[in-house]
Amino acid sequence: MTNFIAKASFAALLAIASIPASVSTAAAAGPERGVVIDVQYHRPPPVYRGCSPVMAVRAARWSGLRDVRVVNVTPRRVVVAGRDRRGWDRMTFANVRGCPLIRR
């Protein structure tokens, strides 16, 4: 019985003595010594279900029209007007994703 009490008290003494040692090492690994990873989350670009007037104007300018204005927007089409080298012209785009050209 005496041997059991001696071993138990020695184990308790070791356990109590090791607490301050583990606390100091845990405090040493603060944020100034650890690796900090800066993560930036970006929102995905908006998903256009149809052809927005801005996208239609960009497509018309890309095709060579100048001074492009939105003339009409319906659920099926987006009409823009502008000038090209021959004078006034209109372009009609389908009001679906990607703005495909219907008529020029």
24 is a domain residue:
no
Q: Element (H or E) spanning 94, and its range?
A: strand 87-94
Kindly state the tokens that stand for 16: 């109590």
91 is a domain residue:
yes
61 is a domain residue:
yes
Indicate whether 47 pLDDT > 80.
no
- What average pLDDT does this structure show over 84-102? 92
User: What is the C-alpha to C-alpha distance for residues 84 and 68, in angstroms, rounded to an integer?
Assistant: 10
53 is a domain residue:
yes
Indicate whether 58 pLDDT > 60.
yes
64 is a domain residue:
yes
13 is a domain residue:
no
Pairing of β 77-84 and β 66-73: antiparallel
Residue 89 structural domain: 47-103
59 is a domain residue:
yes
Q: 41 in helix, strand or coil? A: coil
10 is a domain residue:
no
Q: For 62-76, how does the pLDDT look when each residue is reduced to its tens digit (9 = 90+)?
A: 999 999 999 999 999
CB contact at 8 A, 68 and 82: yes
Query: So what's the pLDDT on residue 80?
Result: 96
Domain count, the chain: 1
